[in-house]
Structure 1
Amino acid sequence: MHWKKNKRIKNKGKCVSVVGPMWKKIGKMRRSIGIGIAWVFVLGYGIGIAQDLSIRTYVDRTVVGLNEQFTLSIELTGKAANSVSDPEIPDLSAFASFLGKGTSQSIQIVNGKMSVSRIILCYYVATNTGKFQIPSISITYNGKTYTSDPIEIEIQAGGTPSQSKPQRPSETPQTPEPGEGEIFLRAFVDKNQVYPNEPVILTYKLYTRLNITSIGFSKLPSTGGFWVEDFELPSQPQVTQEVVNGKKYSVVTVKKMALFPMTPGPKTIEPMRLDCEVQVRTRSRDPFADFFDDSFFFGRTARKQVQSKPVTIEVLPFPEQGKPSDFSGLSGNFRISAKAQPQSVKTNEAITYQIIIEGEGNIRTIQPPSIVFPSDFEVYPPKTTANVHRTGAKISGQVSFEYVLIPRAPGQETLGPVRFSYFDPSLRQYRTIQTSSIVIQVSPGATAYTPVVPSGLSKEEIRVLAQDIRFIKTTLPVFHRMGEKHRDWFGLVFVVPLVALGGAIVLRRRWDRLSEDVAYARKVRAFSLARKRLSSARRLFHRHQSEAFFSELAKVLQGYVADHFNIPEAGMLSDEVRSLLKSKNVSEPLIQEYFDCLSICDLKRFSPESATEEEMKILLTRVEKLIGQLEKALR
């Protein structure tokens, strides 16, 4: 089997192309015809991919049963598909729960020119019956906004989650079943039994004895209930040879990903399906008919569809025995370290305290460990940075949490040790690791030291406690002689009507502008609308509705910026928002705080673990403070 240099990819996913050897010596007439046909094909195809960017959305089905899973695909095609940021995932909480997402990529190479398609797969489970609409999704590139069409979906009662008979795929190639013949697709997993958040490496391999001209993904595997990390495959497929049932096959890996199950229980990964175009040579008894038939040179093309078997993964629950109190549900093998700079400071000077967790596992889901800081330290929320590495069959990396600490009183204080617990699946036991303690020496600063007041008091109460005496009046009243008549109020009779008339004119002009200028109206009302949404989030906090709470806070952050700059809330991009805030001279720490809060909202509302009341309270305070600071900075 020979892999052709020109690669043509169709449908969805990353595709490769294969073609058999051509006749080396053919007549000049046939060579000219072949070249002409090739140029027509390339030029015609090039017209189809000339567009810079387009977006479309679709679902795997428009009628879904209650409690059944469905997939929303967001497909970006064109030259810029791989350079733009991911669009905002739609919030379908009114009728579906978000399970997770994955990404696939399709590369098209024609005559040396490459075009990329990227598909973002969002997995949901239906929670309410009725007819609903999935809103349109927008993305902006080079100042132009591209928008998909909305999708109508119906959820009917009586649906139940689909169950598949467990399969046990082997790690080595299996004998093809009758009918698989010359070409077939296999799915391999490195393990069938895992714990939550333990990675499963899923690999799809195509076995063929035929010459393949193109491959397209017609159905991608369903990965609902998993956190997915895709491995990047080489642009030039690596072809190997394997003998199966006495026959030699050419084998190529078409897809590889790491799946992290989020909850215990059996998980079934539905089959993946490929559409392959293969070359078939036909022979007749008339040699001249063969010669003057195009199939004599190029072969006849036939379409062959192949499908993998479903794969079942058994996800075991974590053992209850020996479970640490600070265990957060993470599996893998990790190390933890801490560092602080500087370690000798004066009061009211900042200290950078960094916790680094690195190793193998689901790095992106690691949350900040619980830390007890000295009571004399003012602590700011951490800045989180995660780096993920996909090498071989492993997912590794590191995440760091950087705190800013400000000591308010002199003395010697100790930071740590900080504990972190996880489950080691290779040992089938829990492990707790911790950092070393760091001693901070705090000397008196230039400003006078104020004793630390009891915790739990507001800033206004702290100011009151700093006063020894609270006077009834702090200024002397104005005294007048008895019997003295004041006629100054007569002047108000003439001034008040003029002021009222001027105020009415200004107010009328303001109302007219609010009704005519949409951008001005959105900007003026941005802060008040954000405060109303914060009040709604506060009510959700008191009702302990964590998912709705984080969703409402995300709307506060996104809605405020969208209203202030008069941009669509649904199509906001991180780079665009950052650029707009910088154009208004908003400080970088304030911009970073905005994205940190937004990231926490997205992570928490899609996380299977419910947030604690303390986490919700801290985030609510941060967002309220952030909106106030942005309002001052954007005036």
Structure 2
Amino acid sequence: MQTSLSKVFFFILLLLPAWVYSQEVRIELGPDEVAENRMFTITLTVVNESLKNYSDFPEIPGFIKRGTSSSYSTNIINGQVSSTHSITQNYIPRSRGVFELPPFEMTVNNKKVKSPGKKIKVVAPGQQQQRQPDPFSMDPFQDFFGRSNEPTEFVEVKDDAFFALSVSKDEVYVGEGFTTTLAFYVAETNRASLQFYDLSNQLSDMLKKIKPANCWEENFNIENITEETVMINGKRYAQYKLYQAVFYPLNLNTIEFPALPFKMIKFKESKTRNFFGRSRQEDYKTYYSQAKRVKVKDLPPHPLKDLVAVGDYRLSEEISTDETQTGEGVQYQYTIYGEGNISAINEPLRPQDGDVEFYPPTVRQDVTRSSGRVRGKKTFSYFINPTIPGTYKLSEYLPWVYFNPRTQQYDTLLPQSYINVKGDAIQKALSLPNKKEAESIYGLIDTADNTLRSSEESRLYTYGFYTSIALLLLASGFFFFRKYA
């Protein structure tokens, strides 16, 4: 019975890591009350699983969808990896009042996730958001008067729109990020009626052509195409982002983006107004983006040029105590945060110093992608074990060198923490305590029996042992049956 319980307990221990790092999907709603000039949000979060697909966020009466943002974080503790991936949908109130978000259901990674919904109160009057006319659904020439028995004549309406691939920088250092945006733009003065055509297949083909092989990609994962108002050369446009990512060059090869075709449905409008006839006729127009080139520069000379991260970073730190005894460990967190390729941040070089032992750190990474920029932080949690009394400045042990493209110079993050250590010196556990003991141990080498033994002799000893065991079992069985027979 005891053996069975031990096996069950051992099996539970084996399953425990799987329970701790179980998968989770949740929907988080914004506050019950929101100001008229603020956004309400719905956040979809997936834990310990990649976000492969999800259905559309719900429409909210009295609100307009206005863009999404995404973030993810990774934790590595004792060799176990956990991750969190979130997508946030923003909503702008149209007016003040109380609006109801009914219960809804979303499909995430082919699984159903439900939300109870809620009532949302819009308060604090401000300038009311004016809803932009949708250029893809307008039918300005539709009329309810005319004669239906006459054939309808359709004419071309000049459009005021364009398709573009834009980059935030034309020249970058190797490892420096630049934002690439693929979008369709429609002027506020546009009168032509337009609609997207076969968007999924077109976008898939374009991404195969523009994603550079020599770059690390941080994709903004645009799933819902929404309208955003932008100003270009003093003119107001509605921008429809199709794809956006930050690329970090891994070598000095120039990055080439080819000109891309983008086909749209463009309607011809009826020349005469007719109540019974069609007011527009479907046609197509192909727009073309301009080719782009991004030059990649080498970093300035430096002994660590090939090892440093590139970005604009800062350092924050936390230490459990600055006063300790030899042999008593100290917990220390070393956090690098800022804008850049967070995944490329390497651990500070740990010194090989016998006075202070730095154990391998646990690592936590958080990345946020929004507003065309990638920001985040990476935290290294150390256990420090001082073995010799004294005062230790951590700036002498954990300096972190990086290249800042904004200043075009190398910089070093230096910790400000220090540790005052008291007590007696502790020798390493793996070292021998003293010379006398070392001599006695090495002396055993000369006195130990090193006579070679035959393998046949060893087998005889083994057979004799097993024979003795068998005889003992037979004797026990004989006395048992004799007693109870």
Tell me the TM-score normalized by structure 2: 0.52
Q: Which residue of 1 aligns with 2:377?
A: 398
Whole-Å separation in 2 of the counterparts to 1:328 and 1:491: 64
2:331 to 349, 352, 358: 352
Aligned equivalent of 1:434: 414
Q: Which stretch has the larger CA shift, 300-309 or 434-443?
A: 300-309
Number of the residue aligned with 1:224: 213
Check whether the contact 1:376–1:452 (CA below 8 A) recurs between aligned residues. Answer: no
SS at match of 1:263: coil
In structure 2, the partner of 1:156 is none
**Rg larger in 1 or in 2?**
2
Question: 2: distance between equivalents of 1:198 and 1:489?
Answer: 69
CA contact (8 A) 2:228 2:239 kept: yes
**What is aligned with 1:195?**
173
Alpha-carbon shift at residue 269 of structure 1 (Å): 2.6
Query: Would the alpha carbon gap of residues 304 and 326 (structure 1) be closer, same or farther in structure 2, given more than 3 Å must change?
Result: closer
Q: How far did residue 390 of structure 1 move?
A: 3.3
Report how many residues are paired: 316
Tell me how large the CA RMSD over aligned residues is.
5.0
Superimposed CA distance per residue, residues 572-607 of structure 1 (whole angstroms, 9 cap, x where no aligned partner): xxxxxxxxxxxxxxxxxxxxxxxxxxxxxxxxxxxx
Alignment of 1:256-271 (within 5 A): 256-271=244-259
C-alpha offsets along residues 63-103 of structure 1, whole Å, 9 cap, x if unaligned? xxxxxxxxxxx9945659999x99xxxxxxxxxxxxxxxx9
Distance 1:377 1:427, change over 3 A: closer
Residue 221 of structure 2 corresponds to residue 240 of structure 1: no
> Residue 429 of structure 1: CA displacement?
2.7
Change (3 A) 1:346 1:273: farther
Q: How far has the Cα of 1:185 moved from its partner?
A: 0.7
Residue 275 to residue 78, structure 1, CA distance change in 2 (3 Å): farther
The counterpart of 2:163, out of the listed 177, 181, 185, is: 185
How much has 1:237 moved relative to structure 2?
Answer: 2.4
- Residue 432 of structure 1 aligns to a residue in which SS? strand
- From 368, 379, 393, give the equivalent of 2:358: 379
Conserved? CA contact 1:229–1:258, under 8 Å: yes
Equivalent residue runs for 1:492-571 within 5 Å: none
SS at match of 1:264: coil
Structure with a larger share of its residues in helix: 1
Q: Relative to structure 1, is the Cα distance of residues 327 and 247 closer, same or farther in structure 2, using a 3 angstrom cutoff?
A: closer
Residues in 2 aligned to 1:439 and 1:380: alpha-carbon distance in whole angstroms: 16
What's the CA shift string for 1:441-486, capped at 9, x where partnerless?
2335xxxx65348xxxxx4x758979453485999xxxxxxxxxxx
CA–CA distance in structure 2, aligned partners of residues 248 and 316 of structure 1: 35
CA contact (8 A) 1:78 1:116 kept: yes
Q: Is the 8 A contact 1:380 1:404 kept in 2?
A: yes
SS at match of 2:331: strand
Deviation at 1:342, TM superposition (A): 1.6
Could you tell me which residue of structure 2 aligns to residue 18 of structure 1?
none
1:228–1:412 distance in 2 versus 1, CA, 3 Å: same
Distance 1:201 1:248, change over 3 A: closer
- Which runs of 5 or more residues in structure 1 are unaligned? 1-73, 87-102, 119-139, 143-179, 454-458, 476-487, 500-635
1:51-200 to structure 2, matched below 5 A, reads 76-77=52-53, 79=55, 182-200=160-178
What is the CA distance between 1:205 and its match in structure 2? 2.8
User: What secondary structure is seen at the aligned counterpart in 2 of 1:416?
Assistant: helix
Counterpart CA distance in 2 for 1:326 and 1:466 is: 49
Change (3 A) 1:390 1:466: farther
SS in 2 for 1:331: strand
Percent identity between the two aligned chains: 20
Q: Would the aligned equivalents of 2:225 and 2:240 in 1 still touch at CA under 8 Å?
A: no
Give the corresponding residue for 1:319.
300
DSSP 3-state at the match of 2:343: helix
* 1:253-311 per-position Cα deviation (integer Å, ceiling 9, x unaligned): 333322211211311134555443444444579x5xx71x5x44xx4444544442332
Alpha-carbon distance between aligned partners in 1 of 2:375 and 2:230, rounded to the nearest angstrom: 30
Q: State which of 383, 405, 428 in structure 2 corresponds to 1:425.
A: 405
User: In 2, distance between residues paired with 1:202 and 1:489?
Assistant: 74
Question: Which structure exhibits the higher relative contact order, with contacts defined as CA atoms closer than 8 Å and separated by 6 or more residues?
Answer: 2
Q: Distance in 2 between matches of 1:489 and 1:433?
A: 65
Instruction: Return the letter of the residue paired with 2:256.
Output: T
Q: CA deviation at 1:316?
A: 0.9
> How far off is 1:365 after superposition?
0.7
What residue number does 1:368 align with?
A: 347
CA 1:240–1:410: 2 relative to 1, 3 Å: closer
TM-superposed CA distance for 1:228, in Å, is: 1.9
Q: Distance in 2 between matches of 1:314 and 1:229?
A: 19
Whole-angstrom CA distance in 2 between matches of 1:426 and 1:409 = 42
Q: Which is strand-richer, 1 or 2? A: 2
C-alpha distance in 2 between matches for 1:440 and 1:247:
63
Q: Deviations over 1:410-440 (max 9, x none)?
A: 4444433332222232333323342235133
> 1:368-402: CA deviations, max 9, x gaps?
12232641333211112222233434333222211
Deviation at 1:351, TM superposition (A): 0.8
Q: Quick one: distance in 2 between partners of 1:370 and 1:353?
A: 15
Whole-Å Cα distance in 2 between the matches of residues 301 and 413 of structure 1? 76
Q: Which moved more, 1:303-312 or 1:255-264?
A: 303-312
Equivalent-residue separation in structure 1 for 2:337 and 2:230 (angstroms): 37
Determine helix, strand or coil for the equivalent of 2:227. Answer: coil
Q: Which residue of 2 aligns with 1:212?
A: 194
The answer to whether the 8 A contact 2:361-2:382 is kept is yes
Q: For residues 329-382 of structure 1, what are the alpha-carbon distances to aligned partners after superposition, in whole Å with 9 as ceiling and x for unaligned?
A: 422222234443222223332211222222222222110122326413332111
| CA distance in structure 2 between the aligned counterparts of 1:269 and 1:495, rounded to whole angstroms | 82
